Structure 1
Amino acid sequence: MAEPPAFNASIPNGGNSLEVDVNAQYAGYEFNYSYIVFCGFIVWLIIPGIGLLYGGLARRKSALALLFQSLMVVAVTTFQWMFWGYSLAFSRDAGPFIGSLTNFGMKHVLAAPSPGSNVLPEIVYCLYQLLFCACTVMIVVGGAFERGNIIPSLIFSFFWATIVYCPIACWTWNSNGWLYKLPSLDFAGGGPVHISSGWAALAYAFVLGKRKHHGEHTHGKPHNTTLVFLGTVLIWFGWFGFNGGSALNASIRAMLAAFNTNTAACTGVIGWVLVDYIRNRGKFSVVGACEGAIAGLVGITPAAGYVSVWLAAVIGFITAVICASLQNINDWMHIDDGMEVFKLHGIGGICGAFMTGIFATSSISALDGVSVYPGGIDGNGKQVYLQLAEIAAISGYSFTVSCILLYILKFIPGMNLRVEEEAEMIGLDKAQFVDEQIGDWSMFDTVPGVMGKNNESSGAMVTPMPKHESPETA
């Protein structure tokens, strides 16, 4: 096999396709970028998966807004990434804190070997990293559910990706970034994706304030467990690409990362269900099982390419047990983070990043043939402190800058970061969408001659069941 391609600064776009075959430099290495493109495709499924998960966790009257935003976030983030996001995060001449505008407007981003891996064309690397950014922004949106105005949330998404996500991605993954050089260990985004989004969602919930609650019995309860389950399944599937592709090649290390992803998700389910089983005195929760899977996935994200399969099982289990045990964290903090973004992604990401420093194993990272990253288990106790530095820096930066950005938007005349109380009471779906409904329209129909009564949770007309009929015969 020929030597892998090398970046040539004199032809930063990889060559003139009218004069040379730009594919020839990757001859024999095509399997790497074919694998990463596939991983990118399935990572995309995480975004509507989050929309379905959030939509199911919300009350019915505001669920459609979350499905809508999952598509709008992809659209806005893609524009931001093409405009300057990719350049700010991954330009080759970046400083330790943020990139330059060398690749502004996708300039030179095409056929040259990428800054992340020389066996990937830069256009493949750019697409893969774009989807990470979109997933992160969609997680953050959960902090505003049922009370955040949609247009301001999309404006916030554009600027949050620019001034929070891109700098943190540069710190962590750009070879010039200060966390990269420490080094802090973050295989697939424990810091840039989960810790940053968890703290940003907490900031969003803090700035907006709590939802109005006028005695609705469904306040704080998921309206559709099926949507929660379906969203979790898509997220779990997409996470194979999220972690499995973060080796940026098709090495054994990438295959192990995919195995570790499934392992941690499974032990996360076991851990959360165990806590629920004890708390609820022998009863189960489907939503709890789904949250356990998410917690396990979040915990293993920074560690997936650094730890053995049994340690991945430990990380998933411990992360889920810790997150499940923080059931009342919103009450303790006096915050209305109804989607539990901070608990699952902020706390879960911190757990994963910390345990990466303890459990990182040199022989595992070396499975790609070039990387050697020991952790505490290999005698490198210093790595634990470096992980704490990453956690503190990303947590502080994300929460502080997110709060500043949100307060700026809040006080711009006409921005209306939060919806009016009336819109919140009738639901975002009715207040901000055309004649569309999530679920069955027949719920709004009434039987002639029978007076319906209004259901506070969804605005639906519920027809009372005749007294002579039993549930089985109705």
Structure 2
Amino acid sequence: MSEPIYNASTPKGGDPTQIDVNLQYSGIEYNYVYIISCAFIVWLIMPGIGLLYSGLARRKSALALLFQCFLVIAVITVQWMFWGYSLAYSRDGGPYIGTLKNFGLIDVMIAPSSGSAVLPEVVFCYFQLLFCACTVIIVIGGAFERGNILPSLLFGFCWATIVYCPLARWTWSSKGWLYNLPSLDYAGGGPVHIASGCTALAYAFVLGKREHSAEEVPRRKPHNVTLVFLGTAFIWCGWVGFNGGSTLNASVRSMVSIFNTNAAASTGILGWVLIDLIRYRGRFSFVGACEGAIAGLVGITPAAGFVSLWLAACIGFITSIICALLQDLNKWIRIDEGMDVFKLHGVGGIVGAFLTGIFASESVSALDGATYQGGAIDGIGVQVGRQLAEVCAISVYAFIVSAVLLYLINWIPGMKLRVGEEVEGVGLDRGLFVEEEIGDWGLFGMGVVEGVRSSGSSSPAQTQETVVKEK
């Protein structure tokens, strides 16, 4: 059976009370079954990031990071239903932003989607929603241990509207200017990783440094390495669906991208562990291994559906080596971005986009039967320049617009971006959450927490004298 064709006279795909709307997908149902299955797997990334951030943070702010990740899912779902999907993927509109034709998901149902004719639009809409939510969750790492929760949620809603949706339009809509350049971005090296990394950097810059960040907060002292491992495992698993479903069909290209994703994460671990063995004179860092896996996953994201198996492994290895060598990046740029979002996602995304321009192969992209795009390895050297154009456009736009948006929100009464000195001293958990959920043993019962309760009358000076004591 031929692929379904979008009929503008029946934008919802037909009246299900009059006809069997499933018949248009008869014989090709495996495509949307596959994509919705990938979407279920992608969902694991979101709690995975929450667990990772919580484990990397000090104990006194671990619950706040989990809570923010959970709330972001809800906020971005509302944003996407409200106007996010329409701004990014409406069929009309220009190369930079869509229209409000699908405002409130009007006419979004079972007609063939704008992204793939073999997907009902509601499936395509849900899959892309998860990309947006994952990106915003990555961004909140920039507010590490000092960001106020309500302003961060407002920022997430606005940022998804004026930053993520335009970038998704540029990159993945058939009318987008980067799509037609063309730049090659298989699954989000630009809109997801470069954008989130640069935005987290802007967030940390606007907030300023944490109190005593240089002397009293060691950069690599996670409060729970087990959570770091669990978060990384969830992210790795979810990334398989993230990249595997980005063909938007169940083709052989999807299967290759899944293998490439696993290969890059594996060589990413090896690259980072190698650097750590040299740096620490024969000692290992488990957190470093987890960072290596994420660096490899970030690097392969724009390339997974464009490169061969061994080149995918090389991309993961190279990306992790470069990110690992930037251990002191925050000191060099003098911005306290303690969660290393910019280093892993921003720099990793830039490296991945650049290497995609070099290693992309038409013989791999053609595995879906419709895409024929290659890079320098196929003799198309100009593709490297196109990739650099994408990197520059997305990084500059994301950083500048995010910084301006943050300053504007900070001026709104009641929306101060940074918590007060007292709350930062005792930790976001005690300062922002009900005591019954914290207890005297900290999150998950790990170590005694002593400090001033947020409801007490202690002064900031007293708070500094009774700051959280950890094992």
Q: Which residue of 2 aligns with 1:283?
A: 283
Give the TM-score normalised by the residue count of structure 1.
0.93
Q: Distance in 2 between matches of 1:214 and 1:245?
A: 40
Distance 1:329 1:348, change over 3 A: same
Q: Distance in 2 between matches of 1:133 and 1:74?
A: 9
Q: Which residue of 1 aligns with 2:187?
A: 188
Q: How does 1:447-462 map to 2 (within 5 A)?
A: 459=468
Q: Which moved more, 1:161-170 or 1:21-30?
A: 21-30
Give the TM-score normalised by the residue count of structure 2.
0.94
Q: Which residue of 1 aligns with 2:448?
A: 443
Does the 8 Å CA contact 1:217/1:457 hold for their aligned counterparts? no
**Structure 1 residue matching 2:257: 3-state secondary structure:** helix
Q: RMSD in angstroms over aligned alpha carbons?
A: 1.7
Distance 1:308 1:230, change over 3 A: same
Q: How does 1:141-180 map to 2 (within 5 A)?
A: 141-180=140-179
Q: How does 1:182-261 map to 2 (within 5 A)?
A: 182-213=181-212, 217-220=216-219, 221-261=221-261
- Asked if residue 408 in structure 1 is aligned to residue 408 in structure 2, the reply is yes
Q: Which residue of 2 aligns with 1:333?
A: 333
**Which stretches in structure 1 are left out of the alignment for 5+ residues?**
446-453, 463-474
The alpha carbon displacement at 1:215 in A equals 8.6
Q: Distance in 2 between matches of 1:49 and 1:256?
A: 24
Distance 1:385 1:441, change over 3 A: closer
Does the 8 Å CA contact 1:216/1:456 hold for their aligned counterparts? no
Does the 8 Å CA contact 1:298/1:349 hold for their aligned counterparts? yes
Q: Distance in 1 between matches of 2:467 and 2:289?
A: 25
Q: Distance in 2 between matches of 1:217 and 1:180?
A: 46
The alpha carbon displacement at 1:315 in A equals 0.3
Distance 1:202 1:442, change over 3 A: closer
Equivalent AA in structure 2 for residue 311 of structure 1: L
Deviation string for 1:344-380 (max 9, x for gaps)?
0000000000000000000000000111001000000
Q: How does 1:17-28 map to 2 (within 5 A)?
A: 17-28=16-27
Q: Which residue of 2 aligns with 1:69?
A: 68
Q: Distance in 2 between matches of 1:215 and 1:278?
A: 24
The alpha carbon displacement at 1:327 in A equals 0.4
Deviation string for 1:427-447 (max 9, x for gaps)?
0000000122312177359xx
Number of aligned residues: 453
Equivalent AA in structure 2 for residue 394 of structure 1: I
Q: Which residue of 1 aligns with 2:458?
A: none
Distance 1:219 1:276, change over 3 A: closer
The alpha carbon displacement at 1:218 in A equals 4.7
Q: Distance in 2 between matches of 1:403 and 1:455?
A: 30
Q: Distance in 2 between matches of 1:294 and 1:128?
A: 21
Q: Which residue of 1 aligns with 2:454?
A: none
Deviation string for 1:362-416 (max 9, x for gaps)?
0000000111001000000010000000000000000000000001011223211
Equivalent AA in structure 1 for residue 45 of structure 2: I
**Structure 2 residue matching 1:73: 3-state secondary structure:** helix
Does the 8 Å CA contact 2:260/2:313 hold for their aligned counterparts? yes
The alpha carbon displacement at 1:419 in A equals 0.2
Q: Distance in 1 between matches of 2:317 and 2:300?
A: 10
The alpha carbon displacement at 1:214 in A equals 7.7
- Asked if residue 86 in structure 1 is aligned to residue 85 in structure 2, the reply is yes
Q: Distance in 2 between matches of 1:117 and 1:390?
A: 23
Q: Which residue of 1 aligns with 2:455?
A: none
Does the 8 Å CA contact 2:425/2:468 hold for their aligned counterparts? no
Q: Which moved more, 1:65-74 or 1:408-417?
A: 408-417
Q: Distance in 1 between matches of 2:83 and 2:200?
A: 23
Deviation string for 1:190-211 (max 9, x for gaps)?
0000000000000000000000
Does the 8 Å CA contact 2:447/2:470 hold for their aligned counterparts? no
- Asked if residue 420 in structure 1 is aligned to residue 429 in structure 2, the reply is no
Does the 8 Å CA contact 1:59/1:458 hold for their aligned counterparts? no
Q: Distance in 1 between matches of 2:202 and 2:301?
A: 23
Equivalent AA in structure 2 for residue 439 of structure 1: F
Q: Distance in 2 between matches of 1:346 and 1:149?
A: 23
Distance 1:431 1:274, change over 3 A: same
Q: How does 1:92-103 map to 2 (within 5 A)?
A: 92-103=91-102
Q: Distance in 2 between matches of 1:441 and 1:70?
A: 21
Q: Distance in 1 between matches of 2:470 and 2:273?
A: 35
The alpha carbon displacement at 1:219 in A equals 4.0
Q: Distance in 2 between matches of 1:28 and 1:39?
A: 20
Percent same amino acid at aligned positions? 66
